[in-house]
C-alpha cells in the first residue's frame, strides 16, 4: 500500500504498484470503513487528497511523469479537471478541489457545478497554505514581496492579510480565523486574524522564535525555542479577557499590526500557557 489521505472515517490510498520498465502504475482505492472500492489506475504524481466523497490527485499520461494533470473523483465519476500540465499540488475540501498549474497559477474545480475557475494568475505565486472548501489560504508575490492572502469562494474575493513581506510559509485556516507566523525584524511571532471583523492581533511579543502555528476550535498551538529546546504553547480564544484592573497592571501600549489596531498584547498573553517543559521535536500538530 502506498500514500493515503483520511477524511471522516474514510481513507483514499494507492496500492498495487507495477512497472513495465517505462513507468510506474498505481491503483487508487477508497475505503469507507468496511468496503474497499477501486477508483482509478494512474501514474500518480501526488498522494490522494480526500474530503467526504471527493478525492483528487495528480497524474501523468506519459511514462516519465511529465505533464502532470489534476484528477477528481466526485463520488461517482473520475474527471480530468486540468489541461495545463505541470500540476504539482491538488487538494480536496468541501465540494471543491484546488490545484497549482502551469506558471504556478491557482485553479479550483467545483464538483457540484463541474466548473473550473482561475483564482490567481501569477507566475510568482509561491504556495497554497491551507484550504477548507469555502476559503483558500495562499502565499503570493505582491509588489515584489511575499504576502499572505485568503480567497473566499462565496464572495469570489481575495483579501491580503499581510503587508510587510515577512510572512512565513507556516499558516493555518480554521473557521473564521487565520493564524500565521511573521518576522517582526528581530524574531518570529504569531498573529491571529478574524475574517469576520477584519481585525489582526499579535499573540506574543518576545525575543524568542515562535513558529509552526496550528488552530482547532478555540485552541491555537505553536512552538517556541527558549534558547535550549523547543516548547509547545497554547492560546485559548475561549478564555475571557482579563478585567480592566488586571489590564492596568499587565497592559502594554496599544500598537498596530500590519496597519490595523490591535488590543493590548497583555490581553492575548493572559490566554497563553505552556503545554510542555521538555524537548519537543518536530512541528506542533493540528489537533
Note the pLDDT of residue 210.
93
- The string of pLDDT tens digits covering residues 186-204 is 899 999 999 999 999 999 8
pTM for the complete prediction?
Answer: 0.71
Pair 248, 144 in one domain: yes
- Whether 235 shows a pLDDT value over 70: the answer reads yes
Phi and psi (nearest 5°) for 265? Answer: -60, -30
Quote the DSSP letter at residue 207.
Answer: S
Pair 215, 269 in one domain: yes
Q: Which single residue is written with the C-alpha cell 489506475?
A: 41
**Mean of pLDDT values over 211-229:** 90
Pair 90, 43 in one domain: yes
Cell of 146: 511575499
**Mean of pLDDT values over 225-241:** 81
Pair 187, 119 in one domain: no
Given 123, 151, 183, which residue is the final one in a domain?
Answer: 123
**pLDDT band per the 50, 70, 90 thresholds, residue 22:** very low
Given 81, 100, 123, which residue is the final one in a domain?
Answer: 123
Pair 77, 8 in one domain: yes
Q: Which single residue is written with the C-alpha cell 478564555?
A: 239
Using CA atoms, how far apart are residues 11 and 32, in angstroms rounded to an integer? 7
Pair 141, 70 in one domain: no
Cell of 16: 498495487
Choice among 24-38, 80-94, 130-144, 258-272 with the minimum mean pLDDT: 258-272
- Whether 266 shows a pLDDT value over 80: the answer reads no
Using CA atoms, how far apart are residues 138 and 62, in angstroms rounded to an integer? 30
Using CA atoms, how far apart are residues 159 and 75, in angstroms rounded to an integer? 32
**Mean of pLDDT values over 113-125:** 78
Note the pLDDT of residue 254.
28
Phi and psi (nearest 5°) for 94? Answer: 60, -130
Note the pLDDT of residue 98.
85
Note the pLDDT of residue 198.
92
Answer yes or no: are the C-beta atoms of 79 and 72 closer than 8 Å: yes
Note the pLDDT of residue 67.
75
Phi and psi (nearest 5°) for 200? Answer: -115, 130
Answer yes or no: are the C-beta atoms of 125 and 100 closer than 8 Å: yes
Q: Would you list the DSSP string of 153-200?
A: TTTTEEEE---SS-EEEEEEEETTEEEEEEE-SSSEEEEEEETTT--E
Cell of 125: 505565486
Note the pLDDT of residue 249.
34
- Domain count for the chain, please give it: 2
Residues above pLDDT 70, as percent of the chain: 70
Pair 1, 111 in one domain: yes
Quote the DSSP letter at residue 282.
Answer: S
Given 123, 147, 182, which residue is the final one in a domain?
Answer: 123
Note the pLDDT of residue 195.
93
Pair 144, 283 in one domain: yes
Pair 73, 137 in one domain: no
Pair 71, 107 in one domain: yes
Pair 11, 26 in one domain: yes
Pair 24, 66 in one domain: yes
* CATH number, domain containing residue 237: 2.130.10.150
- The string of pLDDT tens digits covering residues 134-160 is 898 888 877 777 888 999 988 989 999
Using CA atoms, how far apart are residues 193 and 182, in angstroms rounded to an integer? 12
Q: Nearest-CA neighbor of 166 among 180, 182, 152, 142?
A: 182
Range of the domain at 46: 1-123
**pLDDT band per the 50, 70, 90 thresholds, residue 130:** confident
Cell of 191: 498573529
Amino acid at each position: 500500500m502506498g500514500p493515503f489521505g483520511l477524511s471522516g472515517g474514510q481513507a483514499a490510498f494507492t496500492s498495487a504498484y507495477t512497472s513495465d520498465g517505462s513507468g510506474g502504475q498505481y491503483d487508487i482505492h477508497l475505503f469507507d470503513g468496511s468496503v474497499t472500492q477501486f477508483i482509478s489506475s494512474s501514474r500518480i504524481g501526488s498522494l490522494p487528497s480526500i474530503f467526504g466523497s471527493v478525492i483528487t490527485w495528480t497524474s501523468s499520461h506519459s511514462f516519465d511523469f511529465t505533464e502532470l494533470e489534476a484528477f477528481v473523483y466526485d463520488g461517482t465519476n473520475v474527471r480530468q479537471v486540468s489541461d495545463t500540465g505541470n500540476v504539482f499540488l491538488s487538494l480536496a475540501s468541501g465540494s471543491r478541489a484546488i490545484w497549482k498549474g502551469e506558471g504556478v497559477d491557482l485553479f479550483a474545480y467545483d464538483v457540484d457545478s463541474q466548473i473550473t475557475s482561475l483564482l490567481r494568475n501569477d507566475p510568482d505565486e509561491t504556495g497554497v497554505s491551507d484550504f477548507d472548501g469555502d476559503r483558500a489560504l495562499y502565499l503570493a508575490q505582491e509588489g515584489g514581496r511575499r504576502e499572505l492572502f485568503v480567497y473566499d469562494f462565496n464572495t469570489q474575493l481575495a483579501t491580503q492579510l499581510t503587508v510587510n513581506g515577512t510572512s512565513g510559509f507556516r499558516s493555518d485556516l480554521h473557521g473564521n480565523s487565520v493564524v500565521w507566523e511573521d518576522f517582526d525584524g528581530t524574531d518570529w511571532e504569531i498573529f491571529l486574524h478574524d475574517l469576520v471583523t477584519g481585525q489582526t492581533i499579535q499573540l506574543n511579543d518576545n525575543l524568542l522564535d515562535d513558529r509552526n502555528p496550528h488552530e482547532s476550535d478555540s485552541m491555537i498551538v505553536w512552538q517556541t525555542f527558549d534558547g535550549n529546546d523547543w516548547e509547545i504553547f497554547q492560546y485559548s480564544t475561549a478564555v475571557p479577557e482579563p478585567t480592566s484592573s488586571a489590564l492596568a497592571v499587565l497592559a502594554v501600549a496599544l500598537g498596530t499590526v500590519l496597519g490595523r489596531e490591535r488590543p493590548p498584547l497583555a490581553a492575548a498573553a493572559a490566554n497563553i500557557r505552556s503545554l510542555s517543559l521538555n524537548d519537543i521535536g518536530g512541528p506542533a500538530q493540528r489537533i
